[in-house]
Amino acid sequence: MRVLKIENLSFGYSKEKVIFKNFSLEVNLGEVVSIVGPSGVGKSTLFELIGGFLKPWSGKIEVERFSSVFQDPYTSFHPSYTIKNQIDEVKVSEVDPTALDIDPSLLNKLPHQLSGGQLQRCSILRAISMEPKLLLADEPTSALDNLTQLKVMKLLLKYLDRVGILLITHDLDLARWCSDRIIELGE
């Protein structure tokens, strides 16, 4: 099942700064596609286009229900509400937090009371509980130590029977390790 189809996408912030020209991409259920490249080549812009926050100049984007895991989990949670409140607002189904190596008591805490790794796992829990067909993961492990990075990526990959994953990363080794396909964007 195809969860994302981009055909002949063209977009730029100006005529001098064209980021995509006739760009096409497909992601299927059960696969990981990684977008790699240096800063400023349009990786995050692609997610904004998929999410509908930016309008392409031309081309077509067809996307199934999606959710996102962002690079910085501290900015993706409201600081004044518990993790549980924020997950409950968007969840479609219950996901056992222990399956993501989250102590259930952590859900009753405020975001600043958790470590980066704990909060990123909560971000994944929130995203998965939304029952997406496509998971957009924007540098989900870049702020984590190596051991926590591996743990977080293994947690994401556990859900491939339910989702397709589009991963943005600067880490080519990570992309090689977990991806079915790698798309390198250049300047």
**pLDDT band for position 143 (50/70/90)?**
low
List, in order, residues 6 or more apart from 183 with CB less than 8 Å away: 25, 33, 34, 35, 36
List, in order, residues 6 or more apart from 27 with CB less than 8 Å away: 2, 3, 4, 33, 134, 164, 165, 166
Whole-model pTM? Answer: 0.90
Domains delineated in the chain? 2-184 (3.40.50.300)
How many helices (H) and strands (E) are present in the chain, helices listed first?
A: 6, 8
DSSP 100: G
Q: How far apart are CA 161 and CA 174, in angstroms?
A: 20
pLDDT by residue (tens digit) across 44-92?
Answer: 899 999 999 999 999 999 999 999 998 888 888 999 999 999 999 999 9
Give yes or no for residue 159 having a pLDDT over 70.
yes
Mean pLDDT on 124-151: 87
